[in-house]
Structure 1
Amino acid sequence: MAIFDHNRPEWTACLFYQTTDPAQFNRSAHETGVGGGVACRAHQGIGYPFVVYMGAKLSSHRYGKSRIRVVKILRDGKRHTVVEISAEVLLEGDFESSYTSGDNSKVVATDTVKNTVHILAKDHLTPEVEKFAVHLAKHFTSQYSQVKKASVELSQRVWDRLLHHDHSFTAPGSPVPWAKAEHIQGAKEVAVESGVRDWLIMKSSQSGFEGYPKCKFTTLPETQDRIFATAVMAGWKWAKEQKDYTVANRKILEAMMTPFL
């Protein structure tokens, strides 16, 4: 059974044995070769409990930062391309002293890791996210001599153009259509509803926010152009049965897209 001994700070763990043979106690302590045995007389019939102290070694360790989100707009005139990633950066190397003695002199702060991803993305993030992952990994191993290995994983959200528009986008797999029907016993009609949920839409231009009330606590500056993104949930009730619900729903969705174009 492994236990911790707060009275022996030079050891981080020890093993606990129990025997009814004092000779075995002395022999076991000698054969381990890892420390001295400490015996005490227990209650009669229980035997001789003793402890052999063992040094502990940190076999492996790594740390880092995850969920570092970056959205970058690549502009080619009026036509834009969206690149969105969520980054995870894990570092391995000479950080043992931070675990064993509380020495943080070699630890790269995870906030620094986050800022590094954001700053390097400005010049190096492209739709070929593999190249950015390579650039990040090489940056950490070259910038910090104590970093022996850097693992970078980038999860990408893909955005498709909304009706082939230059700067309006929707995420693949959205929206999620739904349908609902309710019938009351004896009634002639059936109530039918349709709708969508989780419809992710983004505009990379032509979305501003200005003319709002301001007070002494207001710090947000007005802007005539910014990135706008939202998740749309909508539903509608049918006044009568449709000849083709698929066609009818498509027309409604096209009308809903208009404000985002």
Structure 2
Amino acid sequence: MIESWIAIGDSFTEGVGDEGPDGVCIGWADRLATQLAAVNPSFSYANLALRGKMMKEILDDQVPIAVAERPDLITLCAGGNDIIVPGVDIDEIAAMFDAAVAALRATGAQVLVFTAPDVKFQPVVRMVRTKAAIYNAHIHASADRHGAKVVDLWSMSTLRDRRAWSDDRLHFAPDGHRRIALRTAEVLGLPVTEDWREPLPEQPPLRWLDMRRMDVSWARAHLIPWIGRQLRGQSLGDGLAPKRPRLTPYRIPKEPQLQSLKDVTTC
């Protein structure tokens, strides 16, 4: 039974794209924490992840906290913000990732890492697909080298659907986070009552003109501001703090979005 868990990383683990009624991110990690707390009332949880964080920041700022706390479980997803930057050295980012996994595993904790998803279907964003695939190979190698488990998002076919993603094409929508929580529970060997593989309902294909209009709208709302932040050296996480910075007992929230989760089991 998992008594304590520290989640580290960037916006993926913070839960961006899956906001609750109060505007606070929920995400796959909080959804999984809800399941763990349903099974174990003494379960403790911290989520140090923050949007915009680069691999070096996670290695320098978050990994030492997880190492010092020595929880039963540590999850790590990092490097996504690095690989989308033009000209980045993937091998250099992978070396930092490997150092993080080695340090986390040295505590004796069970470590779970995540690959990048397949973005072939995403216009513009798919330009980083080759870099993501190379980085994923490094992630699998690090996990094998240090005895970590892998949640392979690349192989999740249900994530190759626009409905699994938020409008910015970089973060997952609530259903995407829900499915990732189920997949993560499966890798951990936890019981679930839903299958993340369940296909989404059929929908008619989008017309070419509609897709181009969506591309233009996306570029104005998300791509151009991202380029501006890159040029100014800014991050979406500037001035923000992690939502659960300390390892504390986790209580199942009363928000309807979490209370109605079908994947929470009390067995």
TM-score range with shorter-chain normalisation?
under 0.3
Between structures 1 and 2, the one with greater strand share: 1
- TM-score, normalised to structure 1's length? 0.25
Between structures 1 and 2, the one with greater helix share: 2
- TM-score, normalised to structure 2's length? 0.25
